[in-house]
Amino acid sequence: MGSWGGRVGVLLLIAGSLGCATSAERVGQRLFAGCVDAVDDRATVERGVFVCEGKRDPAPFGGNGRACGDCHVPGDRFGLSAARVRELPWDHPVFFPGLDEDKELLRRHGLFHVIAADIDEFRASPKLTHLQRLCDEDGRCGPLGLLGDRTRNLCAFSQQAISNHLSKTTQRKPGQDFRTATQEECDALVAYMLSDLVARGQ
């Protein structure tokens, strides 16, 4: 009897600790997908793109309507294939008109304008399913980006992506065109991108 009670206590402790880890990952998943409440996992896996259980946030991180998950979709290993871009309607957030995207390169080849550090060029959306192998649990990583020439800090990488791709204008002014993620939001985004949810396509 005593040993059974002890085992139940251990199981409850493990479940509690898993719940804490899972909540950070789920908050990150919601932020990444641009959902106000939560992500519908089943519909997301079936469709290959993020589906919110409730409303979608109309301006994730105070920006132009794009969310991280618009350009990193589960069905494309958390990248965005040119074939999928060609299927999107013109009013999809990917085609937000206020940025300096080349509409032909984007529609035909899935190439986005990337501006960061010494980079100013058009690139495909990188797949994120390999991050568990590249990064430690704190988001310190090996080379990031398609050419391995981006910052090696996953939180900083996320902040760059928000300012680069979610901005309302090409001026990219924090507090006006977008807002930077708080440390808690950044931690949640990192927890999600390094989680088994991403490995499972959620």
Q: Any idea which residue has 């001026």 for tokens?
A: 171
How far apart CA 6 and CA 22 sit, in angstroms, is 24
Regions of the chain with pLDDT less than 70? 1-22, 146, 148
CB 112 within 8 A of CB 163: no
Q: What is the pLDDT of residues 92-108, one digit of tens each?
A: 999 998 899 999 999 99
pLDDT given at position 116: 79
Domain parsing of the chain, residue ranges: 2-199
